[in-house]
Structures are given as C-alpha cells and as structure tokens.
Amino acid sequence: MKRWLAALLLCGPLAGFGQESLDQVMRLLAAVPAVEGDFREEKHLAALREPLVATGRLYYRAPGFLRKQTLFPQAEDYEADGDWLTVETPAAGRRQFDLNGYPQLRPLVEAIRATQAGDRKTLERFYRLEFEGAPASWSLRLTPLAPEAARYVTAIVLRGQEARIASVETLEAGGDRGVLTLTPR
C-alpha cells in the first residue's frame, strides 16, 4: 500500500504540476503583445579571463518580431521577422537569411521568440523542454533536438517571473556560455 501511494504521489498529480505551471506561464507570455527592454550580455569564453560584455536593447512584438540591437561595444543589429533574419554589422553591412535554409539558426531565434510568444508547440518542434518552478519564479531549459543545432548549443536556460523573461543563458557545445540579462523599459 505504501509503495502504491508513493508511486501515485510521484507519478500522479505532482508529475502534472510542472506541466500545468508551464502551460500557465505560456499563457501569461502569450498575452503580452510587445516587450521593450535593455540587455546586458556576458560571454564567458574559456580562452579569456574576463567575460566579454555587450549592452543594448531588445524588442519583441507578437507574434513573430524580435530585434536585438547591440549598442556597446560596437553597433550590431539582429532582427527576426517571420522566416527572415536580418543581420547588420559595421564590418559586413546588412545581410538577410531565410531561417528555413539555416537549421542551425532557427532554433536559436525561436528560443527567445517562441518563449516570449508563449508558443509551446514551436518550442517543442526544436527543443526538449524541462520546466521548473511556478509562474512567480520559473526556469525553462531547452535542449536542442536537431543535431545541427546541438553542434553549437547544448542547452538554453530561460528564467523569468510571470510573463517576463529575466535572463537567457546559452550553454555552448565547446564549453563557453553566454548570459543575457533583461531589464524592462
């Protein structure tokens, strides 16, 4: 009887609790039509003692627009709108990529864009999802499903509160990592 009760507690309501919380967070995120915030990004590279730091602005507009505008240390602009990614840097100028033709880029864009859109279906197309917490404080670990993406990234961990993504940590296959911290405007 005790074993049955323990199995029921472990596999029954508690197992669904994380899924219910994930669904609730996805609904909260999906209800946000637009986000504008400042970011600070630290890239921790094995070859360097100190992280590389960049700052700028992040914009999101439902359902499929995401722009990361780096202002320091040098201007860079990444804009994803639907299936297109536009990259603009001083050195290379402006370039456009059809995300459907770049299986290594699409999952990286969708990690932030689909999460902010509350689009669980798209996230599950590219990642294995591991959710912890409750809407007040949550963590979502995304592990790439496609080998093309897994060659570059082992996982992306998003942390947030309610309908706000507070940080995005990218764990790279080579051991480097990046941490993007977001502050709403």
DSSP sequence for 10-44: HHTHHHHHHHHHHHHHHHHHHT--EEEEEEEEEEE
What does the pLDDT read at residue 76?
A: 97
- Sequence-distant contacts of 150-159: CB under 8 A, at least 24 apart: 151/104, 152/104, 152/108, 153/107, 153/108, 156/108, 156/111, 156/127, 158/111, 158/112, 158/115
* For residues 122-129, average pLDDT: 97
What does the pLDDT read at residue 13?
A: 36
Domains of the chain: residue spans and CATH: 25-184 (2.50.20.10)
What does the pLDDT read at residue 17?
A: 53
- How far is it, in rounded angstroms, from Cα 75 to Cα 57? 11
Q: Pick the residue with more confidence: 93 or 13?
A: 93
Degrees to nearest 5, angle at CA 168 with 85 and 36: 65
* For residues 118-138, average pLDDT: 97
What does the pLDDT read at residue 102?
A: 86
pLDDT in tens, 32-91: 999 999 999 999 999 999 999 999 999 999 999 999 999 999 999 999 999 999 999 999
What does the pLDDT read at residue 127?
A: 97
